[in-house]
Amino acid sequence: MKLESTAAIVTGGASGLGAATARMLAKGGAKVTIFDLNEVLGIALAAELGGRFAKVNVASDDDVANAMAEAEAAHGVARVLVNCAGIGAPAKTIQRDGSPHPLDSFRRVVEVNLIGSFNVASKFAAALAKADRVGEERGVIVNTASVAAYDGQIGQVAYSASKGGIVGMTLPLARDLASIGIRVVTIAPGVFMTPILEVLTPEALASLGQQVPFPSRLGDPSEYADLAAAIIANPMLNGETIRLDGAIRMAPR
């Protein structure tokens, strides 16, 4: 799939992995629409890239349907989707005071990370199915899981469940969409320098990076974007989850 003049959508595109991906796509000549809830960062980045911003809750049927229609009206049917939108809410199954994990918190993480990814992917695919193929394919979906899908730590039960769901739906999504020429690949990042880690001290960040076998540092969002670019470019990559983690296997805590 070539990027030049291709319409693309990045969820969670206002910061972190999504912002790096939006920059990569725009640099390659794509017409980028950012879906995010952060209007300040999203509008600024869209202006920088000559793209569009839409305030979207990815778990909302109406938000996604409306934003998809607006993006298509402006840029044409999107052929590339990168789902980076995600949240975390650390909590143990039984908390220190003996109370159970708040169900609303668990549900919210699953709604945004797993249901949100499927919501955008399914609507993207339905719109793209009506377009002509470009060569042998119509387009590609890149979803974002996490090494927590495999190595979930203490306090990550909701997050790991949501990311494990993304890994689990990768192959059936790819099989569902194979007949219409839409590929689906998932990236499972390890520890990356994203806004969720910016609250940590430099010492804590360095310690976290040293847990990575090689290279012993935090991943840079541009490295996630580089892998997304390779997935988009290679039509034989399909139905797979790729760990991007410097060989880390997370400890229990």
111 burial level (CB within 10 Å; 0-12, 13-18, 19+): middle
Which residues are known to be catalytic?
Answer: 159
Question: Which pLDDT band holds residue 198 (cuts at 50, 70, 90)?
Answer: confident
1 pLDDT band, cuts 50/70/90, is confident
Tens-digit pLDDT profile for residues 43-96: 999 999 999 999 999 999 999 999 999 999 999 999 999 999 999 989 999 999
Average pLDDT, the chain: 96
Distances (CA, A) of 173 to 107, 115, 128, 168, 215: 22, 13, 14, 9, 32
Q: Give the domain ranges of the chain.
A: 7-87+115-155+163-243
Full-model pTM: 0.96
Phi, psi of 163, rounded to the nearest 5 degrees: -75, -35
H/E stretch holding 98: none
Per residue in 91-120, pLDDT (tens digit) is 999 999 999 999 999 999 999 999 999 999
CB atoms within 10 A of CB 115: 15
* CA Rg value for the chain: 18
Following DSSP, what letter does each residue of 154-173 receive, concatenated? TTBHHHHHHHHHHHHHHHHH
Residue 22 has pLDDT above 90, yes or no: yes
CATH top-level class of 7-87+115-155+163-243: alpha beta
pLDDT digits (tens, 9 = 90+) for 211-245: 999 999 999 999 999 999 999 999 999 999 999 99
